[in-house]
Structure 1
Amino acid sequence: MKISSVLQPENIILDVTATTKAELIDELAQKLNNNGYLSDIEQFKKDIWAREEQVPTEVGFGIAIPHAKSAGVKAPAIIMGRSLSGINYSTESCNLFFMIAVDQHSSSEHLQTLSKISTFLMDELFRAKLILARDREEIVRLFEQAEQQDTAALHSDKKHAGKKIVGVTGCPTGIAHTFMAAESLKNAAQELGVQIKVQTNGSTGVENELTAEDIEQADGIVVAADVKVDMSVFGNRKVVQTSVKNGIHHAKDLIEEAIAGKGVAQNGGQSNLKEAKEKTRLKQPKIYSHIMNGVSFMIPFVVAGGILIALSFMFGIHAADPTSPDYNPFAAFLSTAGGSAAFALMVPVLAGYIAYSIADRPGLAPGMIGGMLATLGGSGFLGGMLAGFIAGYSILAIKRLVRGIPDSLQSLSPVLILPLVGSFVTAIIMYFVVNTPMAWINVSLQGWLNSLTGTNAILLGALLAGMMASDMGGPINKTASAFGLAMFANQIFEPSAALMVGGMVPPLGIALATTLFKNKFTIEERNAGKAAYIMGASFITEAAIPFAANDPLRIIPANIVGAAIGGGMCMALGISLQAPHGGIFVIPIAASNPLLYILCIAVGSVVTACIIGLLKKPVYQSKNNDQTEVEKSELAPTMKSA
């Protein structure tokens, strides 16, 4: 049943005369009665008030929907009233009123039609159009257009009903992007009528793992990940493979491609799947993905080690030193666990999992051994990255060389030949070729950073924080993070402080903007802003992505400027941070000056919020470019009263 069958132009009052709730209910009920929809107006009003006494029917957003299922109703109908000055309904002033009259024996079809109107009213732009409508016919047309769009979307989006999709998502940190992409794929699948199961390769491990039966029954496969994913489980199936960011922003397109049979067959039509994977890697090495895979495994060691060392400082700066009068055995234990153990493993783990990303399990041992040589030889984080690539590609080359060995020796290849020869090759290159020049670069870089003061320190902090805020998890962000981790591995902790400022300011600044400038954001964005407070405080920059995607030309510059100011302040004040992840949970124990550090974050967030407030237009203006200046000026006082 169409909405026009229950909302007639004669049942629309553009300017109600009522000034109170009681007068409003009387006026709307009287109009329904005059138009022949009621058989007993007093019974109907009695039922309306009975409903109001249970729970007032104002629903927020300046809307009230008094309604009743009553014996006093002849035929289902809706009457709309509008008050530009607003009426104090119960706890708030309302501008739009929809009185719903339903007879006791009304069909479910009538009820569904009436409830559909309520869903349209949740759209802030739609409500604005109702307030700006010049006549009753325009209001009816607005509902008809909304209904047509809803019907079209329903028919077009369910064209893949009955299909099944499986997916995998994963990002370097495994915290936000991983699950945002999974949620986006699920929402898109629901819109398309597609059944879906998504495996998340998150920071806590694999969740919702795909089974062989899931993959076999699937009509399409989507892998949206920036880290290593075991593709061998898909056999010879075609897989649509992309970045996790595309999984967030283009989920529906990816599902369409998968169902259409697009993607790349994992065995390339050859009999040996692993050989095909190796050839693909040799032709098109994914350097960025390999590095991020190593970083994702390294981060837990960095966080755990940094927090343990920071906890040891609570007993005194020199409490872990046996020669100090402040020596404390427990502080020494914490320092040993964090520094001598966790920090010592950072670079080997980085190198090992870069090699693992390139060459699977045979690359793990050579990579970690090469990473340890990088640590011992002074080439540090940068040397560890090189060790990972040397080990990984050495294993791929060795595999090609031993492909022709007798079958009786093939079983020894992954456990003896590959790790032994790979480790030997990697060790020679690291020891005699890489370590000396990389150590010199490391020492030079450390000396340069330690010498930075004044303007130079401010510029570096601003640059690092601005890079963190620029693409919120993308290549620029990860480049800055890699630099910070390299310095962290060399026990230079000031860049880490600036980087975390750059990661926390965008979501916190946006969240603050949604609070201070409510008219610049939709209801959905304001609700998302509340979550952004928590995510931003936890150093989850990805909370800012939906806002930046919707309005990049305003949000991204605001993020960069606010982050750069906060990061510059942080470096100028010489603040260091010995736990480069964790946000507010690690600041009290890991920052050299927690209060000043929080001030830097707060200043950056306020700057970002103010810039957003200045740049963004009110939501009605920005979403309706055809709106005239007169309409805008009329809307402002109206919505203020709402």
Structure 2
Amino acid sequence: MKLSDLFIKEAMDLHLTTSTKKETLQHLAGNFASLGKVSDVDAYVAALEAREAQSTTGVGDEIAIPHAQHESITQAAIVFGRSEQGIEWESFDGQPAKLIFMIAAPAGGGGEHLQALAKLSSVLMNPEAKAALLQAGDSDEVVEVFKKFEEPQEEAVEEVAEEAAPSNDDVYILAVTACPTGIAHTFMAEEKLKQAGKTAGYKIKVETNGQSGIGNRLTKEDIERATAVIVAADKQVEMARFDGKPVIITKVADGINKADELVARAAKADAPIYHASEDANATEESVEGESLGRQFYKHLMNGVSHMLPFVVAGGILIAVSFFWGITSFDVKDTANYNPIAEAIFRMGKLAFAMMLPMLAGFIGQSIADRPGLVVGFMGGVFANPALFTDFATGGVFAEGYVSSGFLGALIAGFLAGGIISFLKFAFSWLPKSLEGLKPIFLFPVFGVLIMGALMLFVINGPMGAVMNGLTNFLANVPRELGMVLGFLVGAMMAIDMGGPINKAAYVTGTALVTSAGAAGSDVMAAVMVGGMVPPLAIAIAATLNKNLFTEAERNSAYVNYVMGAAFITEGAIPFAAAHPLQVIPSLAFASGVSGALSMAFGIVSRVPHGGLFAAFVNGVSNPLAFVLIWLVGGIIGALLLNITLSKKAK
């Protein structure tokens, strides 16, 4: 498929009037959705914003390429927007974006589409093409520009390798580019590095790690000949093959904006020698400029994102088992026992029990790669081993056994990274012939041994005491202060909807409901109802006053009735992104009110997810009050939105 075939003329806007990145994403996505090319515009916009949160798609030179793959996309396409005054996009070079190319790709889309999308970066590197796009009078002229400048990429890997193969005395630079989605930045960095190498007179070969797979793969012969290697990547790439070579590890953005500098350094082999057994040291440059807080959050979210599906699956199944009665799963309760309820409860409990190992394991993996996964995973098991074995029923651990629960698993994840770093140092003296022994034998065995000793004899006791103390404190908080706490966690769920503040509230609620077991947690109930309010408020507001939103926004707003009921707070993100000053305070206040009311009524949630479904199957106490509180919050939010958005329109 040719690049020019992907442009949707009817969705183009050559005279953008939006003033912010969020407004522009919402506007272009709305144009795209109005043509029936996306089944869920809210989800797609949320995916675009999630990509922006990873790193800006403002690639510089007044160009931005927001992009995302999502299952709601029915057809791969590019939506073009042009702004005369420019839009602040946090671009790498600080310039506002005037040419915006929004790329929409289906989840798991074919390689043909993704290869065509990759050509966009090559065309945009041409100054003549950019000038023509700035002068284009209509959508037909925009498409003609790409027909003119699009070049069929007929370079085969063999041809590139043959062209680049130097003599032993020549400078030969290798590079690897990769970004999280593998659609745009990957190929723009490739093009920039190639241009820099050509300008400097050096031979260079660039491997791309895109969504459609690895392109122009570096061969063993390439690596042996290489003067140095540039790795410009924001995700993990295969590194062990570069053992013993000078390797520059940096961000994919530097591959675009500092290509000349990187090529000059590589030509002089001005880089540390990479050793496959010293990954932690070799990757220091990749996080240069990234604060400790940002690194902590990134590792934590890697654990949380992998943990959540287990929390949701386990929580919902446990809630379903309550349908036959709160104790219907208990074989000792002969009057209410139901074997189906017991089976579903046990399935849910096992899935829920995996929460701690998944959290700790994937925090460990984020820090120390695969060796950190097994050590972190076992750290999560050691945080509460009684979930998986009869650990606490006899032997040396039976007396005074304490579970550290969620807090222990959290610490175990970060501890796993430290343990692996220590083991890499401790075994660095081993000869290279025994390198293969480390990840498969030495790291797992000694790592699990050290982790077990630390968790069982050092961490579980104090962390368990902290967790129990927190639980007891919250259980004895006066109702008035409980309402303040409920307002706080409810509002947190609506402030950044899926962001760090939202996740902090949700993780706290999850930790408390995990610790409480079947008794449930009132904080979790406040968190859940607070997270259900924003989508409902948006849907009610759109129903009450159709003039508040555009037609595309209204069409997607009604879906929020379902999203709110299902506790999917992210359904409100596109509306908050389009009108942040009006929407976010309104929703935060409404969610806070619902959270406070939930605490006032003493509602507890026995599950960490499920929304109305959890309420209908006894997942929360007093389900009728829970539903009414949700509706009250939604109505309050809708009324506030009508006031604030109407004032903005005037």
TM-score of the superposition, structure 1-length normalised? 0.59
Aligned to 1:314, the other structure's residue is in SS state helix
1:272 to 274, 292, 296: 274
Residue 500 (structure 1) aligned with residue 515 (structure 2): no
Partner of 2:441: 416
Superposition map of 1:154-169 within 5 A: none
Q: Secondary structure at the match of 1:578?
A: coil
Contact 2:537 2:633 in 1 (8 A): yes
Counterpart position of 1:518: 546
Closer, same or farther in 2 for the Cα pair 1:316/1:542, shift >3 Å?
closer
Alignment equivalent of 2:180, drawn from 223, 226, 229:
223
1:441 alignment partner AA: V
Counterparts in 2 of 1:501 and 1:258: CA distance versus 1, 3 Å: farther
Q: Secondary structure at the match of 2:490?
A: helix
Partner Cα separation in structure 2 for residue 488 and residue 212 of structure 1: 43
Kindly tell me: are residues 318 and 425 of structure 1, through their superposed partners in 2, closer, same or farther at Cα, counting changes over 3 Å? Answer: same
Mapping of residues 98-247 of structure 1, within 5 Å: 177-178=46-47, 181=50, 184-185=66-67, 190-191=80-81, 222-223=179-180, 236-239=230-233
Distance 2:371 2:642 in 1: 54
Q: How far is the alpha carbon of 1:467 from its aligned partner?
A: 0.7
The separation in 2 between residues aligned to 1:515 and 1:537, in whole angstroms, is 16
Match 2:510 to one of 473, 478, 485: 485
Instruction: From 595, 614, 617, give the equivalent of 2:624.
Output: 595
Instruction: Summarize the Cα distance change of 1:210–1:237 in structure 2 as closer, same or farther, 3 Å threshold.
Output: farther
Aligned to 1:302: 311
CA deviations 1:538-565 (Å, max 9, x no partner) are 3222222222223222211101110011
1:542 to 570, 583, 588: 570
Q: Quick check: 1:439 aligned with 2:464?
A: yes
Q: Is residue 274–residue 282 contact of structure 2 (8 Å, CA) maintained in 1?
A: no
Partner of 2:490: 465
8 Å contact from structure 1 (residues 558, 608) kept in 2: yes
Q: Are the structure 2 counterparts of residues 453 and 586 from structure 1 closer, same or farther at C-alpha, using a change threshold of 3 Å?
A: same
SS of equivalent to 1:569? helix
Quick check: 517-526 or 322-331, which moved more?
A: 517-526
Q: Shift in Å at residue 533 of structure 1?
A: 2.9
Counterpart residue type for residue 507 of structure 1: P
| Counterpart among 354, 373, 382 of residue 345 in structure 1 | 354
> How far apart, CA to CA, are the structure 2 residues paired with 1:523 and 1:620?
15
Q: Distance in 2 between matches of 1:442 and 1:555?
A: 35
| Aligned-partner SS, 2:328 | coil
SS class of match (1:592): coil
Select between 493-502 and 410-419 the one with higher mean Cα deviation.
493-502
Q: How far apart are the structure 2 equivalents of 1:255 and 1:190? A: 24
2:343 equivalent among 333, 342, 350 = 333
Select between 278-287 and 529-538 the one with higher mean Cα deviation. Answer: 278-287
Conserved 8 A contact 2:490-2:595: yes
Which amino acid in structure 2 is aligned with residue 555 of structure 1?
Answer: V
Supply the distance in 1 between the matched residues of 2:383 and 2:322 (Cα, whole angstroms): 28
Q: Shift of the alpha carbon at 1:327?
A: 1.9
**Contact between 2:232 and 2:254, CA under 8 Å: does it hold in 1?**
no
Deviation digits for residues 43-74 of structure 1 (CA, Å, limit 9, x no counterpart) = xxxxxxxxxxxxxxxxxxxxxxxxxxxxxxxx
Check whether the contact 1:510–1:532 (CA below 8 A) recurs between aligned residues: yes
| Cα separation, partners in 2 of 1:222 and 1:311, compared to 1, 3 Å | same
TM-score for both structures, normalised by structure 2: 0.59
Q: Which amino acid in the other structure matches residue 508 of structure 2?
A: F
Give the CA deviation at 1:184: 4.6
User: C-alpha separation between the residues in 1 aligned to 2:260 and 2:567?
Assistant: 35
In the superposition, relative to structure 1, how do residues 554 and 288 fare at CA in structure 2: closer, same or farther (>3 Å)?
same
| Structure 1 position 476, deviation (Å) | 1.0
Note if 1:611 corresponds to 2:640. Answer: yes
Superposed CA offset, 1:303-343 (max 9, x none): 2222222222222222222222322222222222222x223
| Unaligned runs of at least 5 residues, structure 2 | 1-8, 19-42, 52-64, 69-76, 82-98, 123-176, 187-207, 215-228, 236-250, 386-401
User: In the alignment, what sits opposite 1:383?
Assistant: 408
Which residue does the alignment assign to 1:292? Answer: 301
SS of the equivalent of 2:439 reads helix
Give 2:581's match in structure 1, choosing from 548, 553, 562: 553
Q: Distance in 1 between matches of 2:410 and 2:261?
A: 29
Partner SS for 2:384: helix
1:563 aligned onto 2:591: yes
Give 1:318's aligned amino acid: T
> What is the CA-CA distance between 1:255 and the residue it aligns to?
11
Q: Secondary structure at the match of 1:499?
A: helix
CA distance in 2, matches of 1:495, 1:597: 13
Distance, in Å, in 2 between the alignment partners of 1:569 and 1:263 is 59
Q: Which amino acid aligns with 1:238?
A: A
**Structure 2 counterpart SS, 1:238:** strand
8 Å Cα contact 1:559/1:608 also seen in 2: yes
The residue that corresponds to 2:382 in the other structure is 373
d(CA) in 1 for partners of 2:528, 2:261: 38
Counterpart Cα distance in 2 of 1:149 and 1:303: 41
Count of paired positions? 437
> Partners in 2 of 1:209 and 1:486 — Cα distance?
42
Amino acid at match of 2:339: P
| Contact 2:280–2:421 (CA under 8 A) maintained in structure 1 | no
* Contact 2:46/2:574, CA 8 A, preserved across alignment: no
The percentage of counterpart residues that share the same residue type is 37
Match of 1:528 among 556, 562, 566: 556
Counterpart Cα distance in 2 of 1:532 and 1:231: 36
Q: How many angstroms apart in 2 are the aligned matches of 1:572 and 1:369?
A: 39
Cα offset, 1:599, TM superposition: 1.0
Q: Relative to structure 1, is the Cα distance of residues 450 and 181 closer, same or farther in structure 2, using a 3 angstrom cutoff?
A: closer
Q: Does 1:356 align with 2:356?
A: no
SS across alignment from 2:430: coil
Distance in 1, matches of 2:429 and 2:11, equals 67
Report the secondary structure of 1:223's partner residue. coil
Contact 2:357 2:379 in 1 (8 A): yes
Whole-Å separation in 2 of the counterparts to 1:458 and 1:175: 36
SS of the counterpart of 1:586? helix
Name the larger-Rg structure. 1
State the alpha-carbon separation in 2 of the partners of residues 566 and 591 from structure 1: 15
Contact 2:280–2:368, Cα closer than 8 Å, also in 1: no
2:565–2:611 Cα contact (<8 Å) kept? yes
Compute the displacement of 1:256 (Å). Answer: 9.6
CA change 1:263–1:596 in 2 (3 A) is: farther
- Aligned match of 2:166: none
Matched residue type, 1:223: P
Tell me how far apart the structure 1 counterparts of residues 413 and 433 of structure 2 sit (CA, whole Å).
Answer: 30
What is the Cα deviation at residue 595 of structure 1? 2.4
Report the equivalent of 2:389: none
Instruction: Give the Cα separation in 2 of the matches to 1:262 and 1:518.
Output: 50
Q: For residues 84-140 of structure 1, what are the alpha-carbon distances to aligned partners after superposition, in whole Å with 9 as ceiling and x for unaligned? A: xxxxxxxxxxxxxxxxxxxxxxxxxxxxxxxx9x999xx9xxxxxxxxxxxxxxxxx
Unaligned runs of 5+ in 1: 1-115, 124-145, 151-173, 201-205, 242-253, 622-642
Question: Once the 2 structures are TM-superposed, how far is the Cα of residue 442 of structure 1 from its aligned partner?
Answer: 1.0
Q: Judge conservation of contact 2:328–2:342 (CA < 8 Å) in 1.
A: yes
2:538/2:638 contact within 8 Å kept:
yes
Give the structure 2 partner of residue 583 of structure 1: 611
Aligned CA distance change for structure 1 residues 262 and 566 (closer, same or farther; 3 Å): farther
